[in-house]
């Protein structure tokens, strides 16, 4: 079953790459087509959702590392499992899966194949790996969103959306309104009969 959107209401088209540890990516393309007029349009405003971090953690790498999940650092104080880290001035991101406080080691969820050099700064960042754009459908039709990004080997992820004039929330609201009117009428009748 396709996702349902309401006609004329802005929605988000998104893809979650956080579990694949894809952070800081750019170059997404999303082709949008619908079954009514077969026109295609390109959404180019795909961006990564970011979390605001009030006091981001930071540390220094203690030794050169390559092809490992374990990164020795000078201090793990303040670091927590689930944080996303970025090596300053490099496009190296990783999800902190575990922390060895006794040995000052941050363990990444996936192997980091690039080199993190001794004294490279590692900072906590607000990247989520959730990428998206907004779209407002203007026709009652089935829309297909074809998302790709060759720079991260993402080819042709497809999302299907059914656009309707009235969704189930609208129908539920109408039923609530009818119920309120009926209740109101019954209250009036009782007052008249008393």
Question: Which tokens hold the place of 122?
Answer: 């590692």
Q: Which residues contact 60 (CB under 8 A, 6 or more apart)?
A: 73, 74, 119, 120, 121, 122
Give the mean model confidence (pLDDT) for residues 57-64. Answer: 97
| Backbone dihedral angles phi then psi of residue 193, each to the nearest 5 degrees | -75, -25
Phi, psi dihedrals of residue 28, rounded to the nearest 5°:
-75, 145
The region of weakest confidence among 12-26, 39-53, 115-129 is 39-53
Same domain, 9 and 105: no
pLDDT at 95: 98
CATH number at residue 44: 2.60.40.10
Identify the CA nearest to 20 among candidates 177, 129, 103. Answer: 129
**What's the CA gap between 73 and 60, in Å, rounded?**
5
DSSP 20: G
Domain boundary among 70, 100, 125: 125
Mean pLDDT within 84-97: 97
Please check the confidence at residue 22 and state whether its pLDDT lies above 80: yes
Domains contained in the chain, number: 2
Asked whether residue 144 is domain-assigned, the answer is: yes
Q: Is the pLDDT of residue 97 over 90?
A: yes
pLDDT at 56: 96
Range of the domain at 85: 58-125
The residue out of 67, 97, 125 marking a domain boundary is 125
Q: What is the CATH number of the domain that holds 84?
A: 2.40.10
Percent of the chain with pLDDT over 70: 86
- Reported as a pLDDT band with limits 50, 70 and 90, residue 3 is confident
Summarize the confidence of residues 99-117 as an average pLDDT: 97
136/158 same-domain check: yes
Provide the pairing of β-strand 3-6 with 154-164: parallel
Report the predicted TM-score, pTM, of the whole model to 2 decimal places.
Answer: 0.79
- Cβ–Cβ under 8 Å, residues 37 and 149: no
3-state secondary structure of 94: strand
Greatest alpha-carbon span in the chain = 88
Q: What is the pLDDT of residues 111-159, one digit of tens each?
A: 999 999 999 999 999 999 999 999 999 999 999 999 999 999 998 899 9
For residue 20, report the phi and psi dihedrals to the nearest 5 degrees.
Answer: -95, 5
Q: Clarify whether residues 32 and 44 are in a common domain.
A: yes
Same domain for 38 and 89, yes or no, is no
Pick from 148, 159, 156, 128: which is nearest to 27 by CA?
A: 148
Q: Give the residue carrying structure tokens 């590692």.
A: 122
Is residue 83 assigned to a domain? yes
Whether 19 is covered by a domain: the verdict is yes
Among candidate residues 125, 157, 179, the one where a domain is terminated: 125
């Amino acid at each position: 079953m396709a996702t349902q959107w309401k006609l004329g209401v802005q929605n988000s088209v998104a893809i979650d790459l956080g579990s694949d540890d894809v952070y800081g990516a750019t170059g997404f393309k999303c082709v949008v087509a619908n079954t009514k007029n077969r026109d295609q349009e390109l959404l180019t405003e795909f961006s990564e959702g970011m979390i605001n971090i009030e006091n981001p953690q930071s540390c220094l790498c203690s030794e050169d590392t390559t092809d490992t999940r374990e990164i020795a650092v000078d201090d793990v104080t303040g670091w927590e499992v689930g944080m996303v880290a970025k090596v300053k001035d490099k496009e190296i991101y990783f999800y902190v899966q575990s922390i060895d406080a006794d040995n000052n080691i941050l363990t990444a969820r996936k192997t980091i194949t690039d080199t993190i050099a001794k004294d490279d700064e590692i900072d906590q960042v607000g990247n989520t790996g959730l990428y998206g754009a907004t779209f407002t459908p203007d026709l009652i039709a089935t829309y297909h969103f074809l998302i790709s990004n060759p720079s991260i080997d993402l080819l042709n992820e497809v999302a299907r959306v059914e656009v309707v004039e009235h969704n189930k929330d609208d129908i539920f609201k109408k039923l609530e309104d009818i119920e309120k009117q009926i209740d109101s009428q019954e209250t009036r009748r009782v007052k008249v009969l008393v």
